[in-house]
A and B are shown apart, each in its own frame.
Chain A
Amino acid sequence: MKFMALKDFADFVFSLGKKRGFEECQIHFAREHEFEIHVSKGKVETFKDADYFSVSFKGLREGKCGRARVEALDKEVAKLLVEEALSNLQVIDSSDMELLHDGSGDYVDVDYYKGNYERLGSSQKVEMAKELERTALATDKRIVMAPRNVFGHVTSEEVIMNTLGLEKAFTNDGGYAYTMVLASDGKTPKSGFKLKVSKTPEELDVQDIARKAAREALALLGATSVESGRYNVIIRRDVVAEMLGRFSSIFSAEDVQKKMSPIKDKLGQMIAAPVLNLFDDPFIPESFTSRPFDSEGVPTSRKAVIEKGKLATYLYDLKSAHKDGVKSTGNAVGSTIAPINISLKGEEELPFQELLKRVKKGILVIGVDGLHSGADPISGNFSLGARGYLVKDGEIVQPVEQITISGNFVDMLTAVKAVGSDHELNLSMYARALALVPSVLVESLDIAGK
């Protein structure tokens, strides 16, 4: 099989598409290089070095869109793309208008690609993963094992072209390291986890990651459950990042239009405490999900989603924007609508220690489990396994495990009493985004335990 040049391939597909009756066509090309290494007991358990590409096609006719995706670039798959898209288009009976973008608007040029990770040699990469394990084990003799020590990096390249004249490309890269360690006092094991992401390996301090994971596992030794009841709760910044990501679809205009969001009909109204500001910021320089345009080629932009507690805007792609008679906010991510990067800022921010001091009887939550199943973005309700520390009169008094925290996400935003100043860039897995967020103090949540 011989590869066709991308532009030639697109032109071939477009002419084929027009011949088969599509009014407009679009090709989205994605290429990725993925490297990941797992070390355990000083050995390279998995070493993954891979590249792949995919081509997605959209064809429009009478406001409807046919879609197909392949992983090859030749005349045969070009035909498959067009024919499959056509048969997909023929079953669509929704009257919502599908559109393509013509390339208009301001594209913010940020230096997204650094290339530092790609320039590392294999042995340097192996060394970084091994260093995670060595450091974790050396922290304390009660650290009995570090079962996962992972280092990885990704470079992704996207090109989007359509028959309305759009032609945009960009390349982005970044890396990460994480470790999961086990501490034991001879009774039950406790685990600690720390992940860090960065644009360059120079910013990735593997020793610091390992020590933080180890300290967390050690601090949980002797943890017990607590009495069920309502408690003040401090949610640590990494957990805030995860929860915001899981519930980010409540801001999707498509979900709002489909009556699948708890903040339907709330535009301009208070949905959070007045101290809260939430942004979608596609240009955070340290984030490897930052980007100049979204999956539809529409320019991304920095905007407040919540401004002093008020819902400032929903997030739109082309189709949902057309339905509401507004402009796309550039938030098409794959086939969903999502923030590009999440950023949370307080009107007033307090150092983390100050947040602690404000707690009479509460829980500092440092980890939650079951976000994919125990959190429902349609109702906003959540009930999650959790761990952390019991806080009394501003002091951490004991580690806590085997509890759940339950509540409603929107109620929780409204019940935020104070915002920390300890901003950190964390992975927000469910939104496929990064989140630059601090810890927050919430008036109260339901805790189930003993």
Chain B
Amino acid sequence: MLDRKLIEELISVVLEEGADFAEIFVENKISNTIIMTDGKVDKSSTGQERGVGIRGFFKDEQVYAYTNDLSREKLLKVAKRVGTAIKSFGEGTRFSGIKKLDFTDKHVVIVSPLDVSKSEKVAVMRLAHEGASSYPDIVQVMIRFWDYVQDVVVANSEGVYAEDRRTRTRLMISAVASKDGVNETGFYGPGAAMGFEFFNTFDVREAGRKAGRMAQRMVTADFAPAGSMPVIISNAFGGVIFHEACGHALEATSVAKGASVFANKLGEKIAADCVSAVDDATIPNAWGSANIDDEGVSTQRTVLIENGILKGYLVDKFHSRQMNMPSTGSGRRQSYKFAPTSRMSNTFILPGDHHPEEIIAATDYGLYAKTMGGGSVNPSTGEFNFAVLEGYLVEKGRIVKPVRGATLIGKGWEVLQKIDMVGNDLARGQGMCGSFSGSIPADVGQPTIRVSEMIVGGRNR
């Protein structure tokens, strides 16, 4: 994508001005989005993103610049600008050229999106549409098909030169049910680091039905009750609770400067005994997986919490300097327009002993959050929130009725200690995670869990 000699030259220019680390990130990404509304394709677009990010460090300061003018003159100018902005009086770092990093591709793609016609993609969307519209009160179905192929090159002054191709395919299904003036939405959005073969791994019509069923159930539901109560959170996308309540606060971005509630707590008990969690970017073809991160470091499985004890953080190259800890291969970015920082990949709570039915049966009164929406967190205070898309009221160990419109709030460090039951039904769900280095694919996951007490933002009786 960019001549290796030119890359070496750019690294040298950044170092010459006094940086003690230089990095070049080259990206070429082709994406395709198709939108079907009401069974008709009304938008289809193709996008190509192509650009270069140039970064320099001097001790604990960093400078980042990007451009998509790939001419040699412009790139040299940008490299010089990065070097100059560092304004260090350092000696300069020795740089003896780059060497190609060899690895085996763990995320093999069988049918590249670039080789699939748009009408084949539309055929998949039609199946999802059919499934989603098969309930009586569905008034609108919107299907979004999204795939991309991203080629990256990462090279740095430590001699790393790594090339990788990331392929992602996702189907997002929204169904709106309307009854007696009430609108409710169901959503399901499966995705993977796969090509078009992804659609051979699950029943697309059933995926559509899942979104439709959710909307249909919720449109006749009462509002969730308001107040503090036990909450059972279902598996798969339910793991967004761990992602928000804990995961973000374990990222070096906030840990390094002591701005996280979990800073300086390694080896300490931060969660109930039944809680163990990992971040694993090596799962073959998972939505948040990759061979290397966006800093050219091989990805890994990082144990975050083991039996309630904090075992590790998610570390990128820049913050590894301040924390004196090696990178965990967690440096990620949306595109060349962002400097990378520590981010989650596929993050989930490990399975426990209980069958999910047992957890419900053991609950006298509470909310069963079957399907979660997104959420957010303030890592400094631990305050998080997330939405329940599909909820049910539990009374005397039984699910008694569907309830809608609930949001769950709490403080991460409190909730982790209040998890009192962990199921055996681990599954993962796909989402887009937004933070300082942009919006990136990430899996969340967990088995069914119960939190003994949480604030449910519903309506008062």
Contact = CB atoms under 8 A, between A and B. Distances in A.
A333 B369 CA distance: 36
Interface in A373-387: 373-374, 376, 378-381, 383-385
Contacts of A262: 183
Nearest to B39: A93
A228 B458 CA distance: 10
B118 A90 contact: yes
Interface in B369-406: 373-376, 378, 380-381, 383-387, 404-406
B258 interface: yes
A95 interface: yes
A77 interface: yes
A53 to B, nearest CB: 7
Nearest to B121: A91
B44 A446 contact: no
Given A88-B45, A259-B140, A383 B387 contact: yes
Contact of A373 (B378, B387, B455): B387
A71 B47 CA distance: 9
B411 interface: yes
A449 B375 contact: no
A160 interface: no
Given A52-B66, A91-B34, A147-B254, A404 B81 contact: no
Interface string A410-450: 00000000000000000000000000000000000011111
Nearest to A385: B385
B94 interface: no
Contacts of B184: 379
Contacts of A87: 46, 117-118
Given A71-B48, A191-B378, A381 B85 contact: no
A43 B118 contact: no
A369 B42 contact: no
Contact of A50 (B38, B66, B118, B405): B66
A92 B63 CA distance: 44
B67 interface: yes
B46 A69 contact: yes
A94 B65 contact: no
B60 interface: yes
A404 B409 contact: yes
Contacts of B70: 1, 72
Interface in B35-56: 37-38, 40-51
SS class of chain B's interface: helix, strand, loop or mixed?
A: strand
B139 A259 contact: yes
Contact of A52 (B51, B85, B411, B456): B51
Contacts, number: 247
B405 A378 contact: no
B68 interface: yes
Chain A CB within 10 Å, residue with most, of B223, B373, B407 = B407
Interface stretch (A182-190, A195-203, A292-300, A356-364): A182-190
Contacts of A53: 68-69
A373 B81 CA distance: 40
A127 B50 CA distance: 33
Size band of the interface chain A makes with B: 35 or more
Interface string B113-140: 0000111011000000000000000011
Interface in B246-273: 254, 257-259, 261
B46 A50 contact: no
A70 to B, nearest CB: 5
Given A92-B42, A225-B455, A449-B227, A383 B65 contact: no
A91 B376 contact: no
Contact of A88 (B44, B178, B223): B44
Contacts of A448: 226-227, 455-458, 460
A43 B57 CA distance: 12
A51 interface: yes
A18 interface: no
Nearest to B183: A379
B414 to A, nearest CB: 10
A448 B63 CA distance: 45
B105 to A, nearest CB: 26
A189 B70 CA distance: 46
Interface string B287-307: 000000000000000000000
A373 B37 contact: no
Nearest to B184: A379
A397 B376 CA distance: 28
B242 to A, nearest CB: 16
Nearest to B34: A91
Contacts of B139: 259
B41 A48 contact: no
Interface of B: 34, 37-38, 40-51, 60-71, 81, 85, 117-119, 121-122, 139-140, 142, 176, 178, 182-185, 223, 226-228, 254, 257-259, 261, 337, 339, 373-376, 378, 380-381, 383-387, 404-407, 409-411, 455-460
16 contacts: A46-B63, A47-B85, A52-B51, A80-B48, A87-B46, A88-B46, A91-B34, A91-B44, A370-B407, A374-B457, A401-B383, A402-B455, A403-B457, A448-B457, A449-B227, A449-B228
